[in-house]
Chain A
């Protein structure tokens, strides 16, 4: 967890207070100006009333150019960012036709499959010519092709479970599966920092939802004991079933989840576990099989494993891997399987080829090289940043590293200055993170070379000095050895 020093907290609160005050002042004057202009159609309530979109109008629009930057090439390790201009003080942005070649530290490209790949792309183009871009049909009607069946088998084998089912979008996987597994009378216990898709799925299921402190097996045990003993609210009937939902790598913290302890707690209290490996499948583990491999957990102990193909495999879509009975049940009742267009066949082929490369079944050792490189890159980058004095979150081996910024003014300062020096970073603020804990998030890729990383470190260090985010003392450079050499 983040330790926020008092002075930083006070200055950050003061900055937000100032922005809030100015926003209110401008709103007040805007009321006078709009008295004469009829903004809303008579009789219809406005889409956003009063303070509902205050944050967007008065805070977010000022730094709008740091988000949503369009690119004009593949999201590989170097890409072209399109320049944008604004004539009305950032309220609207227009794209120009100029692009800048920047180093990409923001895309989820963990294994480097984002651009055209020598093994995957020819096969993808072949499948495009054979099956066309879409099947225009749902999976149960005319949308299952041989590729879909092949990928489901391959994904199950890769993850280590008996069977798997495929979906065309990762977000829909979570929101449509959770209602099929649990309904009214059940209990979902989810980590406090879980992704929005899990929250939506839990809400859509109708079950009661309780939250446990982020990554804390002790608090999870407390919550489980209290809930099982207390039963359903008001009636005190026993719960029908309990599902505990955790993620492999938390994308805003870069932390790995404490999986062995959580599984032990769940087994003791007979709760089912659901592991969302959106960021960790393919990116961590000796052979890329995710947090289970990294932390030494047997996949048979986790009841349901979910993952997406967007991050490490350079495609789109998601999967669920579980026992044969659960997958059978899902194939018959899951709305996303019965009503949604099946995954586009070229995207399926991309995942099949990517998994084959990772497993080494394409006849080369590029997969093993990529996995070794991303591990090396992540650990090197993290240790260098820490040495420079930045506050970096996350565990070793995780390719996601957030650098704390805290102050709202530092968000656009860091982002724009880095872009000027040709490094593209991602900055995240409220509401994706708590109000006081704004951060810049770096995603390392296997396609970053050592020179790329050195350049990135150099730029970040200079910008960090300029903006003032080196909250910890930097390690002094190694002068002792040089002196030692001189003496000799």
Chain B
């Protein structure tokens, strides 16, 4: 009790001194007409404490990396998927094997058949002059060229072939590639980089899709062969876009679509391209040597001057009956590819005998333009005879050498459709010895067009071949599709 009193006295004394300090003249100052009392000092101190706390770094729990033992455990537990999915039951594995040249008549699995499965549009397979020039090339140069174009793989026949094709088409220069499909998927990434805009048809084939994917540009698809859809897409992309000067813009179309047999209306495309300032990349694999009065392709067919199309590519494995591909355009376009197109720089060049075959094929086409008339009459005859096939309808253009037949009424699932079509093709081969094929699709292909039967018409087919095909097809499809 006696100890409490001095403590109480001491506390009272301290409190008195503190309140005296508070009630000191500083505390009783008048700032801007506001009386400052003691409580304002306390509030000031509180604000200072809050600001101090806010300015400190927040506490983060430290990140503990995985220990070696934990990584070992994770690695042991991890199970990869198998490298390939298991094979589905009943999947078709065998392909028909040819035992002679793939001309209009060929031998398949020991039987002589009429061949509508090779894109031999001008009937040049087995042509004597071409084979002789190949033999000369083989004896002089051997088979392969043993090097890329930059390192002694450029042989004089390549340069001859490039200048021959350029002269034939009327362009300043052209560049040869060593494989048909690698042409388009090397050309597109060479010109289109990240940030560029590409407007492409949704029915383009896998090689074009791969090129578009590798280019990393923004790709917008328009409805298959629909010019109104193309116009509205172009309008949407360019409206209000001020940075359009620096961005490169391209339209990618095929002249004859492999997946449907339609022909792109080049005159309208050129009009749209000039209005909206886009460059056109035209893939002419199936129309080079086929369309036009002298076989010079889609531009001749529509009467469009060739300078208006910026880049033309084509594979030579169709009308020219050889292999490889070419790309042509202005000098700037072709020179740019010699250093920046990956399929040209990093790959061995075309075997020289195929290049001399291409030169001979173009020579033949120049000297015998009547072969185009044969081809056209064959296509017309086929269209006439197949117009009333039960269950199947022709969806390709009347001038297209790929005659595309699809089911009038789809069963609803693509696999059953494919089964039906394959049954028709098998029966036609077995019973009437006519070799036809369906369109096959890879699971990496994102084209949504319907599948069907593709007939490749050649100038070497005779009228009897065509009648044989049409009567057989009508008979078989009547029996197979009678339930649908």
Q: Are B102 and A142 in contact (CB-based, < 8 A)?
A: yes
Q: Are A240 and B80 in contact (CB-based, < 8 A)?
A: yes
Q: Does A478 contact B (CB under 8 A)?
A: no
Q: Are A107 and B191 in contact (CB-based, < 8 A)?
A: no
Q: Does A210 contact B (CB under 8 A)?
A: no
Q: Are A45 and B248 in contact (CB-based, < 8 A)?
A: yes
What chain B residues lie within 8 Å of A60 (beta carbons)?
339
CB-defined interface of B112-128 with A at 8 Å, one 1/0 digit per residue?
00010111100001100
How close is A228's CB to chain B, nearest CB, in angstroms?
5
- For chain B, give the interface size range: 35 or more
Whole-angstrom CA separation of A48 from B242 in the bound complex: 20
Q: Does B96 contact A (CB under 8 A)?
A: yes
How close is B144's CB to chain A, nearest CB, in angstroms?
5
- Closest A residue to B158 by CB, please name it: A70
What chain B residues lie within 8 Å of A311 (beta carbons)?
146
Residue in contact with A106 in the complex, picked from B147, B214, B317, B445, CB distance below 8 Å: B147
CB contact under 8 A between A125 and B75, given known A131-B100, A172-B181, A316-B178: no
What chain A residues lie within 8 Å of B139 (beta carbons)?
116, 121, 125
CB contact under 8 A between A347 and B205, given known A225-B71, A338-B441, A426-B152: no
Residue in contact with A128 in the complex, picked from B78, B138, B155, CB distance below 8 Å: B138
Whole-angstrom CA separation of A339 from B102 in the bound complex: 17
Secondary structure at the B interface, as helix, strand, loop or mixed, is: loop
Interface centre among A116, A134, A149, A179 (most CB of B within 10 A): A134
Q: Does A333 contact B (CB under 8 A)?
A: yes
What chain A residues lie within 8 Å of B463 (beta carbons)?
none
Kindly count the residue-residue contacts between A and B in the assembled complex, taking CB atoms under 8 Å apart.
334
Whole-angstrom CA separation of A304 from B347 in the bound complex: 21
CB contact under 8 A between A169 and B144, given known A130-B100, A329-B87: no
Q: Does A132 contact B (CB under 8 A)?
A: yes
Whole-angstrom CA separation of A368 from B136 in the bound complex: 30
Q: Are A70 and B317 in contact (CB-based, < 8 A)?
A: no
Q: Does B461 contact A (CB under 8 A)?
A: no
Whole-angstrom CA separation of A75 from B351 in the bound complex: 11
Secondary structure at the A interface, as helix, strand, loop or mixed, is: mixed
CB contact under 8 A between A73 and B141, given known A238-B78, A270-B78: yes
Q: Are A136 and B321 in contact (CB-based, < 8 A)?
A: yes
Q: Does B149 contact A (CB under 8 A)?
A: yes
What chain A residues lie within 8 Å of B277 (beta carbons)?
43-44
Interface centre among A129, A169, A238 (most CB of B within 10 A): A169
Q: Are B83 and A45 in contact (CB-based, < 8 A)?
A: no
22 contacts between A and B (CB under 8 A): A68-B154, A69-B154, A74-B142, A75-B155, A76-B142, A107-B147, A107-B152, A116-B140, A116-B142, A132-B102, A140-B437, A141-B440, A169-B182, A171-B342, A204-B213, A241-B82, A310-B348, A316-B143, A325-B87, A328-B87, A330-B84, A333-B442
Give the top 4 A-B pairs by smallest Cβ distance, nearest first.
A142-B117, A341-B317, A329-B84, A169-B179
For the A-B complex with A133-B131, A328-B84 known, give 8 more contacts whose Cβ atoms are closer than 8 Å: A47-B333, A81-B152, A134-B125, A146-B99, A315-B144, A335-B207, A340-B180, A346-B353
